[in-house]
Structure 1
Amino acid sequence: MNTNLLFIPLKQSSVLDLGDELRQVITNNYFQPASSFNSDLIYITQLRNQVAQIKNVNDELGKTSQDDSILLEYLQVLNALQNKFSDDCVEFAWFDTLAYGPQGPYRYRSLKIEKLNVIYQIGTLYSQIAISESRHTDIGLKRACHYFQLSAGCFMFINNFLIETIKNKNDPLVLSIPLSMQSSTIQCLEYLMLAQAQETIWQKAINNNSMKDSVVARLSIQTSEYYSKALDFGNSSDLIKLEWINHMKVKKLHFLAAAHLRSSTIAADSFQYGEQVAHLRVASQAVDQALKSKKYVNSLVLEDLQGLADVIKVRLRTAEKDNDLVYLKIVPQEKELKTIIGVSMVKSIIPEAFEQKPESNTEIFKELLPYVIIHVAQAMRERQDEYVQTKFHTPISSLNNMLVKFLIDRDLPSSIDSIQQPENIPDSVIHHSQEILKTGGVDFIDKAFKELDKLKLECNHLLQECETRIDLDRSEDDMLRRKQGSTRWTRKSTDDAAQELIKKVDKMKQYLLQANNGDGFVLKKFYDIKPALDVYSSGYKALSQYIPNSQYIELPEQLSIVISDLRSCLARANTLESERKEFLQTLEIRSRDNSILPKLITEYNSNRSKYQTENGEFNFNAFESVYEKHMKLFDSDIKYIARTRDSQMTLEHEIDSINQKFVQEFKSLQNSSNEKRQQVLQYLETAYEKFLEIINNLTEGSKFYTDFIEKGSAVLQECEEYLYRRRVESRDLELAISNSFQQQQQVQEQNEQLSVPRNYSNDKLISPKTSKPGLWNPNSDIQFS
């Protein structure tokens, strides 16, 4: 396009079978057949591919409006998809085109990022439509101005969204923001569009011969200010190329010069000839600076600049000559001139379509279950699993451990095994050996400790990464604070800004220290019983050799009865454990088979207004009644826990009473061989109890470190987002300081360049006295010629 304005090139995107991607998502995650939505899936694939095939505007008529409608239609489709699918359901790929040639593809698994890219495309398209409008008619200028404002509104919408995203500390999207969506880049494009919109207003004004110079001057200076803002943001962007930087710099100075040129005319009309010269000098300096940045700038822009420069130079020479020879007015410095106050006739206009909700009769996937229902069902399923674990598995495991400890504290069953089976291996020991071998024995524990070490290493790495991010921000902040000075570097220090994060990281460190101490205690416990576990794992022959035989003792009838009663109680204890194991297995099957999702679907379909507002937002609390009703499934099981606890207490009381009788009866009959055998059997029983404790400890340790990794990863993400926000904040503050310094420097340079000779600027001017020839002055000496 042959124009003195800039248009933004469209991004490029790969062709994507979006319908097939969504088909797989529906098949895998929804309890609905994907075939029910074939027409929607075909439609969305075609629409997405049309979006990907849109090219930059050329001179063909009618092409732009069609592309505009395609993008807006796809935007509405994305709004509908966000209500039905999770944000990360599909991966999209885009090429950035702002810099030198396409860069990418950059891949994003986010509907939000896809939506921002589409809005970006709409903004670029509006800029191209504006460029294609005729600027030789008032109607063309009006339409161009409107489209430039719409384009600016698109980029303002993107920037506002990014600001809100960055503020939201828990939004993972912060780390997925594309390079082309960085705030400096987007704001550069927004102000560039506003500058060009203002320029069309200025052009319409100068086409009107009756327009006052004061109005044109104010329009010009405002145009210059918009280009100045665009230039500032462009300088801090990684994507704005040098051609655009120079273009904006030239435009900024061009309109600055134009504003002072008009102001010089106003000054001349008011007989303020000194001010006229001053304004022309500022204008001349501005065009001189602009010509220094003409490299890579469009020839039409340079022609306009050169034409303006020629006019200014001629008028400046004429004005200076007239003032020096005729008017003899003091030429003020630039800072003494009356400020030209800009007037903005444009603003960023966000297209109405961005805020509109899809119409119910055209909404795609209308009958598809919203993904939020799936999400709620998954969350409630996790709550259900936690409920089963807390209310059933944990209490039963505690009861079993209490029972084992109760028996071991009373030397049972080793005390009666050493009497009844003086040479054979007791059944309880054989059972323990089988259980240990089934678990994996020593090798299993060794592997579990190694896995725990890997998890611990990952946790420590997470902690180190969190500390590194905070330390990195601290070092960067300290460096910039020393560079800029504490007076200008006014933002919070790292210790203040990251106070909450530092607390979290310190707490993470404490948790890991406590866990490490606990791991050491469990490891020592393992080494203490490792010899016994080796015996258990070595088979029947090794157990026979390890357990000493004892002498046969003839038991009195009363003691035999007591031992028989004890053996009967121990059998009941084994039965109690078996019943509990079977109960938990049945409970797991019932919990797995009773999904809450069908109930949520039924409730949602029966009364959608109860669970979803008119704005499409879901009332999650309304689903709580469905969950409470669903969990009544386990009411009878809660009663079982109470019954089995009562049964164990009764059994323990009975065993304790009978065991006291046994101890009293057996004291007189016990011999050294029997006592030695009992001690070994008791050691094996204790080792088995410790083995169960270690298995439980390792399971808890693994769960702790896994949870730590999950929560620590969230903290690390917070640290990443914090560091990103601080760097953005740092860049903005540096830019503000740099701009302030440059403005001060420019004012100082301009003052130096615009200063006039001393006899004009500092000394009072004295008009020469007139005298008539031929008259004698009495104050003069007498002279003879």
Structure 2
Amino acid sequence: MTNNLLNVPLKQTEPINLGEKISEVIKSQFFQPASNFENDLNYLTSLRNSITEISNTSISTISSIDKCYEYYSVLQILETKFPKDSIEFGWFITLYLKPIGPISIRSIKYEILNIIFQIGSIYSKLALNESRHLDEGLKKSCQFFQLSAGCFQIIKTIVTSINSNPNSNLEIPGDFQNSTISCLIELMLAQAQETIWQKAINSDTTKDSVIARLSIQTSEYYSNSLKNAKNSDYIKLDWMNHITIKYYHFLAAAHYRSSIIALNSFQYGEQVAHLRIASDAITKALKFKKYVNEFVLEDLMGLSEIVKTKLRTAEKDNDLIYLKLVPKENDLKPIIGVSMVKPIESEEFTKPLPKDTIFKDLLPYVIIHYAQALRERQDEYLKTSIIEPIQALDQIIIKFLNERNLPSSIDALQQPENIPDAILNHSREIMNLGGINIIENLLKDISNLSYECKHLVQECQNRIDKDKQEDQMLREKEGTTRWNRPDTEKAASIPIAKIQRMNEYLQQAKNGDEVIIQRFNEIREPLEVYMGGLTSLNKYIPNSNYIKLDKNISNIVIELRDYLSQIDSLKTDRINFLHNIEIKNRNNNILPKLIDEYKRNKNQLYDNHGEFKPTKFELIYEDHIKLFNSEISFLYQTKTNQQEIENKIDIINKKFIQEYTTNVNSTLKKRQTALQNLDTSFIKYKEILTNLNEGLKFYNDFISKGNNVLKECQEFLNKRRVESRDLEIEIQRNLQYQNEQNQRSITPDITATGNNHRDEALAPDVQLVSPRTQKSNVWDPNSNIKFG
């Protein structure tokens, strides 16, 4: 068993009764008895708990991986049959010095990620269990490391997809984020490559050039792993030191082998140069020996002794015999790495899901989900087609009566001293709603939210201004010719346009707020009267002298009272109607009809690819919604009745006005004005409350969407800063290259003479090309937020 490589520690989790948790979901969301699936539920609990029994000390065979693959397959099925956030799973992060957690997340996808991690961890342990003294053991070890890298590659792909989905609300723990997972991928590839290198040096026939190329590639994998480890908060120091030593070790090994090639080609100066680089790499490696395994240090010290001995001999021979110029590192021919490994994704992850294994009789959650969507459509239909029109009719009749000074005009005439019941009802309703205090509190909340929105917009603008400032500074420093990237106005045209729209929306909202405040101030005095109760109303409403009405106006008033009574009856009927429709809506769920349709025509509800076709349920919904045709008829009938009453009131009220002007006196007029003012203030009070609630919703929505714009602006600034850094580096490299070229053009080539005895032939497998570089695909988010 090898001791100079690393394995990934298993994550830890506690046993849970998964079957019981699934049972609760079935009962609460699927409307089916969980007892029908008792065997499946027991199987789930047993399988999940068997996964928790796998420990870092118990892994010796492939059976543990088989158990994990079985559970992975089950989770894939659960994800298709149950809501993705229906179950909470808790796992400990174990990469660091001590376990962190448990990190509990309500997500089946989170459980899947952890199981894939477990499989990758087990593969890394199996790789270390193989013998490194036999070719077969090295071959299996290499295969296991590549399979481990494949597992972490799958995690990286899944997490990238989750993070790029704006509709995803799954918070990914840090040990699954890019830097940590990328570190593990590169580490597994480095160790897989190291087994290839080990196999190569065990063979007497492998050329030094091949070993050098294998070594430099191994070093590069360790280097990539180290870069990601430095960006992660979860890779511990002893691992980072181990990876660092491995990076320098194989860098030294590559140059040591290259020194042998140079010696065999009589390139004595290059031999010394390679050995010096190797010696320098070993010196750097030894600075990180703290907490590192003794076997790793033994390997390094063994190479160190060889390099030191070879370097002393080479330098002595070159100084005394060959007298060759020792080139600088940059002038040496690059060692071209050759990769023999890659992440291997096991076929187990891509197998089609087995059908009818567990919960085969469970109604697919897509049916439940679609039923919920249809239920929302039903609610929206009733709201927009019936409930809101009914409420609008009530508002129309209130406005209609208020414009005609009803009922205050006849109240003033018929009740010269008593306070009308309508006014008393208004007073009680205003006090129950919170009166003036509720408006002042809402205005204060709106003011605070408005300030927060302004600050949010300013923060967005600050990011753009910061980039503009930094870009202009660098443009002046480097010159417009070299600094050849778009300026801020062009590069940030999309977020700038969004910020402009945000400012426009806020200005419109500010204007609306000012109108509301003005209206509130206009009715503040009547509201204070309402809040004072009976005593305050008696003081505000003047009494009038009793006027004996003639028979004609008395009949008109009686007729108006009758129509107003009919209006009150309409309102009462509508209140009862809205209550009844709420009950009817609640009692008429479309789900049972969808279940019946699913059972009758199960095969016809899926296309050739097995995708559910929701359009098949449209006819059922259309038929279901006809249940409310009688309510639609009521709407039309009550609207017609209201229009007829309004027409009659309009006619009789004109007669009343003609008669009223001949009978009214100054005290009666004052009483009518007071009553009318109170009526109007009550209506405006309700309108202001509605407007303020709409304002609160606007500002809260603004903040939600504005935070997305702020995130976009921050990402833009971060991206531009990375661009600036890369562009500055590129400019400096170009300037340095130009300076070197200029120096070479005026400096004589001292190596061009006196070296005719030197054999310039290269080893057949060493090529003069640029070093291989690996480019990683970095996700570049492209937000298309349309504000508002």
TM-score of the pair, normalised by structure 1: 0.83
Q: 1:84 to 1:681 in 2, by over 3 A?
A: same
Match of 1:637 among 623, 631, 634: 631
Q: Is the 8 A contact 1:83 1:616 kept in 2?
A: no
Match of 1:168 among 165, 171, 189: 165
Residue aligning to 1:388: 382
Where do 5+ consecutive residues of structure 2 fail to align?
738-746, 758-788
1:378 aligns with 2:369: no
Question: Secondary structure of the residue that 2:90 maps to in structure 1?
Answer: strand
Mapping 1:95-244, distance limit 5 Å:
95-173=92-170, 176-244=171-239
Residue 449 of structure 1: how far off its partner (Å): 4.5
Deviations 1:180-236 (A, max 9, x none): 122111111111111111111111112221222222222122112111211222222
Quote the Cα distance in structure 2 between the aligned partners of 1:274 and 1:353: 53
Q: Is the 8 A contact 2:449 2:699 kept in 1?
A: no
Question: Secondary structure of the residue that 1:172 maps to in structure 2?
Answer: coil
Quote the Cα distance in structure 2 between the aligned partners of 1:182 and 1:489: 34
Quote the Cα distance in structure 2 between the aligned partners of 1:642 and 1:54: 69
Question: Secondary structure of the residue that 1:140 maps to in structure 2?
Answer: helix
Q: 1:719 to 1:534 in 2, by over 3 A?
A: closer
Q: Is the 8 A contact 2:430 2:530 kept in 1?
A: no
Q: Is the 8 A contact 1:149 1:348 kept in 2?
A: yes
Residue aligning to 1:754: none
Q: 1:651 to 1:266 in 2, by over 3 A?
A: same
Residue aligning to 2:53: 53
Q: 1:552 to 1:8 in 2, by over 3 A?
A: closer
Residue aligning to 2:41: 41
Moved more, 634-643 or 504-513: 504-513
Question: Secondary structure of the residue that 2:102 maps to in structure 1?
Answer: strand
Match of 2:256 among 255, 261, 267: 261
Match of 2:345 among 337, 345, 350: 350
Question: Secondary structure of the residue that 1:223 maps to in structure 2?
Answer: helix
1:309 aligns with 2:304: yes
Residue 307 of structure 1: how far off its partner (Å): 1.7
Quote the Cα distance in structure 1 between the aligned partners of 2:471 and 2:18: 46
Q: Is the 8 A contact 2:2 2:131 kept in 1?
A: no
Deviations 1:373-396 (A, max 9, x none): 333333333333233222223222
Q: Is the 8 A contact 2:446 2:699 kept in 1?
A: no
Residue 590 of structure 1: how far off its partner (Å): 1.6
1:400 aligns with 2:400: no
Question: Secondary structure of the residue that 1:345 maps to in structure 2?
Answer: coil
1:705 aligns with 2:696: yes
Residue aligning to 1:678: 672
Q: Is the 8 A contact 1:469 1:719 kept in 2?
A: yes
Q: Is the 8 A contact 1:283 1:312 kept in 2?
A: yes
1:638 alignment partner AA: I
Mapping 1:668-747, distance limit 5 Å:
668-687=662-681, 691-706=682-697, 708-709=699-700, 712-713=703-704, 715-716=706-707, 719=710, 723=714
Quote the Cα distance in structure 1 between the aligned partners of 2:373 and 2:706: 21
Q: How many pairs are equivalent?
A: 745
Deviations 1:301-346 (A, max 9, x none): 2222222222223233333344444444444333333322121111
Q: Percent identity?
A: 45
Residue 450 of structure 1: how far off its partner (Å): 2.3
Where do 5+ consecutive residues of structure 1 fail to align?
748-757, 769-785
Question: Secondary structure of the residue that 2:434 maps to in structure 1?
Answer: helix
Quote the Cα distance in structure 2 between the aligned partners of 1:171 and 1:493: 33
Residue aligning to 1:415: 409
TM-score of the pair, normalised by structure 2: 0.83
Q: Is the 8 A contact 1:169 1:718 kept in 2?
A: no
Moved more, 518-527 or 495-504: 495-504
Moved more, 116-125 or 583-592: 583-592
Deviations 1:651-672 (A, max 9, x none): 2222222222233334333333
Residue 766 of structure 1: how far off its partner (Å): 9.3
Q: Is the 8 A contact 1:481 1:489 kept in 2?
A: no
Quote the Cα distance in structure 2 between the aligned partners of 1:723 and 1:155: 29
Moved more, 537-546 or 83-92: 537-546
Q: 1:543 to 1:263 in 2, by over 3 A?
A: closer
Question: Secondary structure of the residue that 1:118 maps to in structure 2?
Answer: helix
Moved more, 657-666 or 488-497: 488-497
1:661 alignment partner AA: K
Mapping 1:436-455, distance limit 5 Å:
436-438=427-429, 440-441=431-432, 443-444=434-435, 446-447=437-438, 449-450=440-441, 453-454=444-445
Q: 1:282 to 1:438 in 2, by over 3 A?
A: closer
Q: Is the 8 A contact 1:169 1:721 kept in 2?
A: no
Q: Is the 8 A contact 1:57 1:129 kept in 2?
A: no
Mapping 1:292-371, distance limit 5 Å:
292-362=287-357, 364-371=358-365
Quote the Cα distance in structure 2 between the aligned partners of 1:6 and 1:494: 47
1:579 aligns with 2:573: yes
Q: Is the 8 A contact 1:423 1:550 kept in 2?
A: yes
Deviations 1:645-690 (A, max 9, x none): 3333332222222222233334333333433333333333333xxx
2:650 alignment partner AA: D
Deviations 1:570-609 (A, max 9, x none): 3333333333333222222222222223233333444445
Q: 1:249 to 1:677 in 2, by over 3 A?
A: closer
Q: 1:669 to 1:133 in 2, by over 3 A?
A: same
Residue aligning to 1:782: none
Quote the Cα distance in structure 2 between the aligned partners of 1:492 and 1:156: 35
Moved more, 586-595 or 289-298: 289-298
Larger Rg: 1
Quote the Cα distance in structure 2 between the aligned partners of 1:546 and 1:267: 110
Residue aligning to 1:780: none
